[in-house]
Copies of this chain bind each other. A is one copy, B any other.
Amino acid sequence: MDNHSIKVNYCSTGKVKPKSDELEFGRIFTDHMFIMDYSDSLGWHDARIIPYQPLLIDPSAMVFHYGQSVFEGLKAYHTPEGDAQLFRPKKNLERINRSNDRLCIPELDEEFALHAIKQLVGIDKDWIPKADGTSLYIRPFIISTEAYLGVAPSRHYQFIVILSPVGAYYKEGINPVKIAVENKYVRTVAGGTGEAKTGGNYAASLKAQELVANSGYAQVLWLDGVEREYIEEVGSMNVFFKINGEIVTPALNGSILKGVTRDSVIELLKHWDIPVVERKISMQELYDAHENGSLEEAFGAGTAAVISPIGQLTWNGDHIIINNAETGSVSKKLYDTLTGIQYGKQEDPFGWIEKVKAVSKVK
């Protein structure tokens, strides 16, 4: 396959775009989608951009039965100069290939996949919303489509990219949330699929999230599946704590997702000479730090919210109030800098930004 040949079939009339203040997350999709097929005889082939449309899939396709799927999430941002840009997209494509390896899904050509994403975003560039805090969410994913009920890696796949204009995560400024520490359910365990971005991890998380949502908590904090003691992630974000002036985040251990925002936070902290360490941290240690006054801040880090300050952690009935339930200074500085770079309002000394060219629709 010529690495850069993508057939394009434009939709005849575009859909009406939503108003910026009506945007939610992940409910509205743009005019086009990217799709590419895999078969064991042809490899990845037939890359094409087509009007956004339903998929026609056999009911015996493996994705419906054995969950062999992976996905990614990143965003395109509109800059004050009218440019469209992506934030560290190569990191997402490196990760989808690590997920592919764990799930026995054939490797993607990362360079070609990035080209495909850029071309799709370029075609639907007018869909990137312009209001503060809004963006175009990009969802690349791979599903197993072989019509076969045997438990074995599929021999057919589709790699698909869809785009969704999304509203500001914080409508009224960055805002601390309440989190419940989960003692009964686990998200995953070392030796499982926790390091991969695959559906099963999210399916496993729904029950715990649903139970705490009824009590007013935004997310759960996941503990490790072995000792039920060490902190792993919060909801679908990585988590950081400021203890005695040092930033601590759980070390990658095989069951924690290697977040792109997590990595960016660590790089920024190092750049600022703020001490940061990746290590095991237990809930007891965190509780003790709270008790002796050394727990100064806590925040989640992920693509959706960028930085999500944690104002309260509830553990075994104890309510741990962090930084008077206010946004801490490190959280604020990270949020402002990351969004500043993402939206092109601030210099990018790290080479994290990839520009996207508009594609003119020559039919």
Interfacial residues, chain A to chain B (CB-CB below 8 A): 25-27, 29, 33, 52-60, 63-69, 71, 102-104, 137, 139, 141, 143, 147-153, 160, 162, 164, 184-193, 198-207, 209-210, 225-226, 228, 235-236
Contact = CB atoms under 8 A, between A and B. Distances in A.
A245 to B, nearest CB: 33
7 contacts: A26-B60, A29-B59, A55-B58, A149-B164, A185-B191, A192-B192, A198-B200
A29 B148 CA distance: 10
A141 B210 contact: no
Contact of A59 (B58, B148, B151, B160): B160
Nearest to A223: B191
Nearest to A24: B150
A152 B189 contact: no
Nearest to A103: B203
A57 B54 contact: yes
B148 A66 contact: no
A205 B202 CA distance: 17
When all copies of this chain in the complex are counted, the total is 2
Given A56-B56, A104-B210, A152-B206, 8 more contacts: A53-B59, A54-B57, A54-B59, A55-B59, A63-B63, A65-B69, A67-B202, A186-B190
A58 to B, nearest CB: 5
Contacts of A164: 60, 149
Given A58-B54, A186-B192, A69 B69 contact: no
A149 B26 contact: yes
Contacts of A225: 189-192, 225-226
A260 B193 CA distance: 27
A25 B64 contact: no
Contacts of A65: 69, 71, 139, 141, 199, 202
Contacts of A186: 189-192
Contacts of A206: 66, 68, 103-104, 151-153
Nearest to A182: B191
Nearest to A162: B59
A203 B204 CA distance: 13
Given A103-B207, A148-B27, A139 B198 contact: no
A57 B235 CA distance: 27
Given A60-B139, A65-B202, A209 B151 contact: yes
Contacts of A33: 59
Contacts of A207: 102-104
A192 B188 contact: yes
Contacts of A27: 147-150
A206 B103 CA distance: 7
Contact of A200 (B26, B148, B203): B203
A60 to B, nearest CB: 6
B64 A143 contact: yes
Contacts of A69: 64-65, 67, 203
B151 A137 contact: no
A33 B29 CA distance: 31
